[in-house]
Every structure is written in structure tokens, then in C-alpha cells.
Amino acid sequence: MNIKIENIFPCLQWLKGYQYSHFTSDLIAAVIVTIMLIPQSLAYALLAGAPPQLGLYASILPLMVYAIFGTSRTLSVGPVAIASLMTAAAIQNLGIENEIDYINAAIMLAFLSGMFLVLMGFLKLGFLANFLSHPVVSGFITASGIIIGLSQFRHILGIQASGDNVLELVETIMLNIQSANTTTMMLGIPVLLFLFWSRSGLIRLLNYFSAPQKIIKLLPKVAPVLVVILTCTLAYQFNLEASGLAIVGEIPRGLPSLALPVFSNGNWIDFILPAIFISIIGYVESVSIGRTLGAKKRQKIDSNQELIGLGTANIASAYSGGIPVTGGIGRSIVNYNSGAETPLAGFMTAIGIALAAMTLTGLLSYLPTATLAATIIVAVSNLIDFSILKKTWNYSRSDFIAVLLTIVITLLSGVEIGVLSGVAISIFLHLYKTTKPHIAEVGQIAGTEHYRNINRHKVITYPEILTLRVDESLYFPNASYLEDQILQRIAEREELKHIVLMCPAINEIDISALEVLESINQYLIELDIGFHFSEVKGPVMDHLKKSDFLEHLNGKIFLSQHQAIEGILHSNYQNAKEKPGF
């Protein structure tokens, strides 16, 4: 094996050509992303049900580690909405409530996710993530976005509500809505409306007043920070906590100590499955955004090295006491648009967050959770996108069914069952389609050597020869279907003397299908009907040659369909019964 040091440390590739101009661009992007990340880190820790500092810790070391091991130049790694939601769901499912246990559980999930991703990377199993098809992932993200958004309304209203799925959330919100806290709502609802408005109405307004484009572009990014500063000040100044406003509360000042907590009881086994879910969903989301951004600058993402990059980032998060991390969509786009050239921007962002953890925690302790909840709701509203339903409906009903079921099941049963169902449904629908493959009877297009479907083209056929093109590999789920189809057509055509199986679309004949072909051949021998094959692929032929099928075959193997028809018509073959030749 040829291992290059640059493949292990992809940062060496961009460090070699690093220039001063890159540094300026990276620094500007880092400052913007840092400002954006401070409230987001706290918010996603809240979403994960963990103390706010775990979100900050997850935004320091993991970014540095990803800058070393990751292959995307502009991906911004840190706590993200869906991974945080899944973290909360997993810990609640395990019935953990005590705060220390909860923190340890969140860290454990980060650690196990990281180990799993690194393992996948070493085994080069990145392709497994492909089983999460893109429509399923889109549907899953949309449904998760709705669940996350709904789950945050309790903070805007100042009520108790909980649940893994939409039904539970709506039910508990409805039950408790009467006890909504006025102070919280008076603050939360305007903040929420302002944040939404800053993305649309405000921009239109500024355009109307011909404000400089720089300000117009910057404002939506700065709006959450303005809101954080404003609401912190309000909460502090008017002691709103006394009127029932929930605030973040004391955040330990300074940097995390680097150590894994001691996982005393042996229940870490229970965390493996949730950790796998979190890491796979995070990985798929991350690689997808990484590829999209990479394509714009012709930078390639190595899907196996990404496993290592994200895996080590999660292990780093666990060592510094943080929650699971992955590449975030929103923040990677901001990073990219702010001009980040290399992962050094991520490295500098990490320094920015570290500085914040050392200096701003006093101020941030007055931050109302309603403000964070509003930030989350606005952020996840970008994830909700039903256009995939329309796109799949137009293109293919089976893709549509997969997406629709994924959305519905995720909304009704929560994220873990939702994503599992999405994969299972996609695989089932694919297999279902292959159980009853398209079998076309073909004939010759006059004047050519092309043989096409008799129902789609005007073709020449012969009553004594039936040519069937099977548009699917022959394997165990569909082997007996082929038998039924052939036997039925034989029963319908008495004058039949030859059957040709045209095989350009048969990519595999497994042993179940081989046994069926043997039984068909046996049957055709008794009926004195020839059984021929044309256009058999090389790899399929290699397999057939390993069995004794060809020795007993009541017909020939032809290189092309045209040769098959010519051969049968002009050789009085029906009386010949030769051994097949290759």
C-alpha cells in the first residue's frame, strides 16, 4: 500500500502553498464565523439538553483537529442542530436525568461517534453512507427541522413541553400553553419576529433606502449577535429572571480541561447504536455540504479521509468535554461566502471561541434561553424544504414514497426510527422493483442489427423464435418470476421452436437463478424447444463457465442478438443439437 504523509495530514497540501492573501481572507471569515458561532454553540448545547459551556467546548478543539485531518477547505465543524437533537433524543431514551450523568452521556456520545467514524475511515467504509439516499436525507432533514423548531417553542413561551416527535410536542405544548410566562413571551416573540424579518423585510427596507451593499450583506449575520447583546442587557438591567424569564445561568469561565470523564457504569454499550446514528447522519450531512462547496472551487473531498477528519474532531470534542460535532450547513456557507480560503479559518475561529470562553461567559450568563430558542428556530427554518416531494413526485413514484414515508415516520416517531425507516424503505423499494423485472419481447429494427421492444418499435419477428430481454440481474428475489414468465409465454405460442434470452442488462446470475435456468432448460429439452443466450456479459459468462450449465444447455450462446437470429434461421439448427460454442 502506498501511504503518503499528505493523505494522513491533508493540511500539508494547503500549508505548502499558503500565502499572505489567504491569511487575510481566512482571518475575516474567522471573525464573522466566530461571532455567528457564539450564540449558535450555546443554542445547540441547549437543544442537546446539555449545559451551555458544552457547546462552546465543542467549538474549539474539534475545529483545530478538523483543520489538520479534514479534506474540505471551507467546511465549518461544530455543534449542529440535527446532531444535537439526536443527542438529546438518545439520552432521554436511555432515561438519564441527573445532570452529571447527562453531561457524561453527551460526551460519551461524542467519543463513541468519533471512534466509530475513525474506524469506518480506516476500513474505507465511506460508501456505506450512500445507503442514505439523497431524497431520504432531504426528507429526514426537513422533518428534523420541524421537530427542532417545535421543540424550541417552549422556550419562547416559557412553558414545559417535551417529546421526541411532533405529536408529543404539540400535545405537551397545548397542555401547558395556559401557563405561558408573559415576560418570556414579551421578549421571545419580538426577538423571533425580528430575526425572521432581518432575513427578508429588513433587507428590502435597506435596499429601499439604498444602504451600502456591504451593510445589507452583513446585517442578517449580525442580527443574532445584536439580539444576544440587547436581550442580555435587558435581562441584566431589569432583573427579568425574577419575573420568570429563563436565562442561561452561570457558565464556567475559561477553557475545558482535557480529559475524558470516567464512564463508571458499564452502560456504554447502550450508547453505541445512538452514536452510530448521530455519526452517520452527521457524516452524510457534512460530506454533502463539503462536496457542494468543494465543487465550486474544484476541490475534491475524500470521503474516507472525511471519516477520519470528523471522527478525530468528535474524539477531540469528547476530550475537551463537548457534545457531538459535524460540518454545519449554515455556518459552512457563511464561512465560504465570507471568503475563507483554507481550514486555517477554522483554526482561527477556534481561537476566537476560546477567547470568548475566557472573557464573555459573565455577560452570556444573562442570555435568555428564549433568545437562543429564537436563534435555533430561525436557523432550522432553512432546513425545512418540501421541494424534494415535488421533484420526486415528478420523477419517480418510488423515490417519492421513500421521501414521504421518511418525513411522516420521522415526524411521528422521532429521528432514530425515522432515519432507519428511510434506509429500510429505500432498500425495500429497490428490491421490490427488482422482484418483477421488466421483461421485453424484442424484434429486429428493419435494416439494422438492433433489436428493440416490440411494443415500442416497429420490428421484425419470427413465429418460431421468441426473444426476451430481461432488464434486470437474475438473482434470488426474481428468479422464479422469470420461470413463470417463460412458461406462460410458451403456453401461449404453440409454434415456438426457439427461445433466446437477450442478456445485455443481466449483470449477475446468482446460484438461485442458475438453478431456475437449469430447470427451464430441462423443461425445454422435453418440449424440444431450443434455449439460447445472446449478449451475455463477460463477468456473467465467467460464472456460467464454472458450472455445468453450458454443457447441458439445449442451445447456443451468441455474441450478439443478430448473430443469434441469423444463426437460428440459417443453420437448420433445430435438428442439429450441437454442443454450444463460445
The residues that touch a copy of itself, with contacts defined as CB under 8 A, are 127, 130-136, 295, 300, 303, 391-392, 394-396, 398-399, 426-427, 430-431, 433, 435-438, 440, 448-450, 453, 456, 471-473, 475-481, 487, 504-508, 510-512, 514-515, 519, 522-523, 535, 537-539, 543, 546-547, 559-560
CA-to-CA distance for 271 and 106, rounded, in angstroms? 10
Question: Given the complex with a copy of itself, which of 164 and 472 has the nearer CB atom?
Answer: 472
Q: How far, in whole angstroms, is CA 394 from its chain's centroid?
A: 22
Report the length, in residues, of the chain. 582
Minimum distance from residue 547 beta carbon to a copy of itself (Å) = 5
Give me the torsion for CA of 121, 127, 132, 135, rounded to 10°: 120
Question: Given the complex with a copy of itself, which of 285 and 399 has the nearer CB atom?
Answer: 399
CA-to-CA distance for 361 and 364, rounded, in angstroms? 5
Minimum distance from residue 421 beta carbon to a copy of itself (Å) = 15
Given the C-alpha cell 455540504, which residue does it identify?
289
Minimum distance from residue 564 beta carbon to a copy of itself (Å) = 13
Which 3 state secondary structure label does DSSP give 10?
A: coil
CA-to-CA distance for 453 and 459, rounded, in angstroms? 8
What's the Cα-to-Cα distance from 350 to each of 22, 31, 36, 487, rounded to whole Å? 17, 10, 12, 69
Q: Cβ neighbours of residue 330 under 8 Å, at least 6 residues apart?
A: 379, 382
Minimum distance from residue 429 beta carbon to a copy of itself (Å) = 9
Minimum distance from residue 194 beta carbon to a copy of itself (Å) = 36
What's the Cα-to-Cα distance from 543 to each of 390, 437, 558, 564, rounded to whole Å? 43, 21, 16, 21
Given the C-alpha cell 432533514, which residue does it identify?
141
Question: Given the complex with a copy of itself, which of 25 and 286 has the nearer CB atom?
Answer: 286
Question: Given the complex with a copy of itself, which of 130 and 233 has the nearer CB atom?
Answer: 130
Strand order across the 557-558 sheet: 451-453, 439-444, 465-470, 498-502, 530-534, 557-558
What's the Cα-to-Cα distance from 476 to each of 255, 482, 504, 513, 545, rounded to whole Å? 58, 11, 19, 6, 19
Minimum distance from residue 131 beta carbon to a copy of itself (Å) = 5
Minimum distance from residue 95 beta carbon to a copy of itself (Å) = 23
Minimum distance from residue 436 beta carbon to a copy of itself (Å) = 7
Question: Given the complex with a copy of itself, which of 217 and 438 has the nearer CB atom?
Answer: 438
Given the C-alpha cell 465543542, which residue does it identify?
58
Question: Given the complex with a copy of itself, which of 35 and 440 has the nearer CB atom?
Answer: 440
Minimum distance from residue 283 beta carbon to a copy of itself (Å) = 13
CA-to-CA distance for 475 and 169, rounded, in angstroms? 45
Question: Given the complex with a copy of itself, which of 244 and 539 has the nearer CB atom?
Answer: 539
- Across the strands, what pairs with 184? none
Question: Given the complex with a copy of itself, which of 179 and 394 has the nearer CB atom?
Answer: 394
Question: Given the complex with a copy of itself, which of 317 and 392 has the nearer CB atom?
Answer: 392
Which of 161, 204, 211 has the alpha carbon at shortest distance from 184? 161
Which of 153, 186, 182 has the alpha carbon at shortest distance from 170? 153
186-199 burial: b if 16+ Cβ within 10 Å, else e: ebbeebbebbbbbe
Which 3 state secondary structure label does DSSP give 74?
A: coil
Question: Given the complex with a copy of itself, which of 359 and 394 has the nearer CB atom?
Answer: 394
Minimum distance from residue 81 beta carbon to a copy of itself (Å) = 23
Question: Given the complex with a copy of itself, which of 219 and 389 has the nearer CB atom?
Answer: 389
Count of beta carbons in the 10 Å neighbourhood of residue 422: 26
Minimum distance from residue 312 beta carbon to a copy of itself (Å) = 23
For residue 532, give the H/E element and its range.
strand 530-534
